[in-house]
Amino acid sequence: MFNKKLIIASMTMACMFIMTSCGTKQHITPYVMMPEAINTINSVRLDELNLKHGTDYTIVNTVTADATIIYSTQRKGKQITISEENGEFKIVFKVDEENGRYYRADFDGIARFGFLTNDYEDTYTDVIAPHYMVRNLAIYRIINAAKVRGADGIIEPVISTNVEQRGRDIVLKTTVSAKLIKLKTDAK
């Protein structure tokens, strides 16, 4: 009799645990795909080339490109917006109330990023890292300037990022300048 009561009590407890675990609200964090365009260009220091200026390559031009990104928080830090100053793209992150982590909730436009050779790690629209985004947007723009001018690569890139505060917004501006080179081919 005692064993029968113990078995019934155990079964009742097990059913209660199963029923409560099945009945809890499942929280699903939405994932929003952000379109990204990514370019890469070779970048080396002059001493690594082992080439002679004039006979092996020519410097086409020196170019400069810049990018500006605005980082702002809303709703007492529960939402973060990172946007390109001219509206090229905007990414909205929201905090997940259950685990306290941010997730990408919305976007507008296309994020365009460029990387120097051996500088490409991953895309950065999944993390709240405006300094990576502004840097790689400026590099993307200098890569396009190199393509337009028919360059084979860039040498001696200089990358500078400045940060300022405008009211509650943080404004990051990166400027990239580099020499464009064109390799000479053997004409036979």
Q: Which residue do the tokens 């081919």 mark?
A: 185
Which residues of the chain fall below pLDDT 70? 1-47, 49, 117-128, 186-188
DSSP state of 53: B
Position 127 scores a pLDDT of 60
Neighbouring CB atoms inside 10 A of 1's CB total 5
Determine, yes or no, domain membership for 23. Answer: no
What does the alpha-carbon distance between residue 67 and residue 176 come to, in Å, rounded to a whole number?
A: 9
Instruction: Indicate the number of domains in the chain.
Output: 1
CATH number for the domain harbouring residue 162: 3.30.110.70
Domain of 81, in residue numbers: 36-183
Structure tokens at 56: 């092996």
Position 17 scores a pLDDT of 47
pTM: 0.71
Q: Taking a C-beta distance cutoff of 8 angstroms, is the pair 178, 143 a contact?
A: no
Determine, yes or no, domain membership for 154. Answer: yes
Position 1 scores a pLDDT of 55
Determine, yes or no, domain membership for 101. Answer: yes
Measured over the CA atoms of residue 69, residue 108, residue 31 and residue 112, the dihedral's sign is negative
Measured over the CA atoms of residue 127, residue 130, residue 133 and residue 135, the dihedral's sign is negative
Neighbouring CB atoms inside 10 A of 111's CB total 23
Element (H, E) at 175: strand 169-183
